[in-house]
Chains A and B, each alone.
Chain A
Amino acid sequence: MIRFEKVGLRYGERPEVLRGVNFDLSAGSFHFLTGPSGAGKSSLLKLIYLALHPTEGRIILFGRDVAKVPRRELPWLRRRIGVVFQNFRLLGHFSAIENVALPLLIKGAKRQEVETHVIELLRWVGLGERVAAYPATMSDGEKQRVAIARAVVGRPSVLLADEPTGNIDPDQAIRIVHLFEELNKLGTTVVIATHDQNLIARYNHHPVLHLERAAVRRHDPLSPVTALAAAAAGGVRSHD
């Protein structure tokens, strides 16, 4: 579903952020992407959601080499990937329902047609009472849930989240990971980037992609402790 082949990334003339990264995430999988701050987690997600092009290697999404997809077809790929951005990135002048409806509206859906569905989704994330609220009046936990609802409203096959538990209290965080697990049970491929080791330890039944020194190491969910210890030793370039 998402395959990286010897992917390298650098910003301008700076040192490589990613080097020779290989992995293959199968459809319906659930991964944590971890690594210290600045390791390149956000950058790796951006490569998947097509906000960046790799400087080297190939990225294969839904069986298509991204580099060979004509630019005007990229929106269709993006619509199959839901993203919960760091800092939510909601539109400030749009209410919760409008923010969540946006991915449907840009596809040409009529406002009245999507309203019921969007309200239902907001109820699912626990914001049934906050449908008409504006981001400025919401707590970070509420904004995060609006962002999640927006990410999944178009029924994407892949859901990416960048530090989704970053600014919120532990109770909210558990609630949010629970939402991701529910979506994953429905078949969505999930990748959550986080540097929160407690969170990963708590959900240690999911495999972990560990990012350090520009390379990715994949850890078996059955031995998370050893995996983390190996990761902490660091610097091991690896394959999938």
Chain B
Amino acid sequence: MIKRRSPVPFERERSERFLPFVIGAMTFLGALAVVLLFTLDAAMTRWRADLRDTLTVQIPATKEAGGERAEAVLAIVRATPGVANAQLVTYEEVERLLEPWLGKGSAAKGLPIPILIDITRAPGATIDRAATERQIQKAAPGATIEDHGTWLNRLVRLALSIQLVAAAIVMLIGAAAIAVVVFATRAGLAVHHDAIEILHLIGAQDAYIAREFQTRALSLGLRGGLYGLALAAVAIAVFTAALPDLSVAPAFRFSPDGRALVALVLLPVATALIALLTARHTVMRALGRMP
């Protein structure tokens, strides 16, 4: 006969039903930011692994065949300390690389295509890029050697700043969520003032009354978090499906690595916990002002 229900009549109050939707929207944005963060992180790891130990020599195209010059440069490079491997990029490979831009066929045939040599650095070794460049320029004027490290560093810096922005967004959303829960809880305290006072006067401890509010906030927060996550999952699925058509670099595709999935699953849990703790703190403070 004694039903299991809260002495604070939350169900009768409609004003706080907006909370799951607001928290849902926040979680959605937060999830996208988290995905961005981890996608970039994974991409950077891949770039580093792919590019850290490679350099490229570029010999400008000339009227006459470049075979001789290429052989000479290759010999110099192979003799340079720190070089583990150096390989001429074949004409077919260059053609394949250019294909997306120039189309299939032999469109590249008429173009002055530079000769490329891929260099792999020995692990842990350093190559004196400037000195090597001077050396190869004797054999092939205009030849340059490009260290991907510089380019990579710039890319990493860009990615890091995007990550920083994403992290800031996540924190901003967290702060906004706290503010929303504070306001909703304060509104709840005002609306349910009578029930709270009755509980207080018949000897309920502050923690008991706060528990009613924090349980409520936890459930609303969790619901909102799950709404947001579900929406984010749909959005990510749509993005992932749409990306290949936009032919954006594969690095920007969301590959659900373990950490990202864990972070995404933890997001609604974190939202619910933030709601719980915020509600508890707000209620305890308000009750502390009662005699």
Binding site for B on A (CB under 8 A): 49-53, 71-72, 74-76, 78-79, 83, 85, 89, 91-95, 97-98, 101-103, 105-107, 111-112, 114-115, 118-119, 131-132, 150, 154
Taking a contact as CB atoms under 8 Å apart, the answer to whether B195 and A91 are in contact is: yes
- 6 interchain residue pairs of minimum CB distance: A79-B203, A78-B203, A106-B204, A93-B9, A111-B2, A75-B203
30 CB-based A-B contacts, threshold 8 Å: A49-B201, A51-B201, A51-B291, A71-B288, A72-B206, A74-B291, A75-B204, A75-B205, A76-B203, A78-B202, A83-B202, A85-B201, A91-B195, A91-B198, A93-B5, A93-B12, A94-B7, A95-B1, A97-B2, A101-B2, A102-B198, A105-B7, A106-B199, A106-B204, A106-B208, A111-B2, A112-B2, A114-B2, A118-B2, A131-B1
CA of A106 to CA of B207, assembled, Å? 11
Residues of A within 8 A of B203 (CB): 75-76, 78-79, 103, 106-107, 154
- As a 0/1 sequence over residues 6 to 31 of chain B, the CB contacts with chain A under 8 angstroms (1 = contact) are 01010110000000000000000000
B4 at the interface (CB under 8 A from A): yes
Does the CB pair A98–B3 fall under 8 Å? Answer: yes
Number of B interface residues in the complex (CB < 8 A): 22
B3 / chain A contacts, CB cutoff of 8 Å:
95, 98
Q: Does B99 make an interface contact (CB < 8 A)?
A: no
Which of B4, B203, B206 is most buried by chain A, counting CB atoms within 10 A of its CB? B203
* B10, closest chain A residue (CB): A93
Which of chain A's residues have a CB closer than 8 A to the CB of B195? 91
B9 and A91 within 8 A (CB): yes
Bound complex: CA A131 to CA B288 (Å): 35
Find out whether the CB atom of A102 lies under 8 angstroms from the CB atom of B4: no
CA distance A50 to B204 in the complex (A): 13
A119 CB, min distance to chain B CBs, angstroms: 8
Give the CA-CA distance A77 to B203 in the complex, in Å. 8
Q: A91-B9, A93-B12, A94-B7 are in contact. Are A115 and B1 (CB under 8 A)?
A: yes
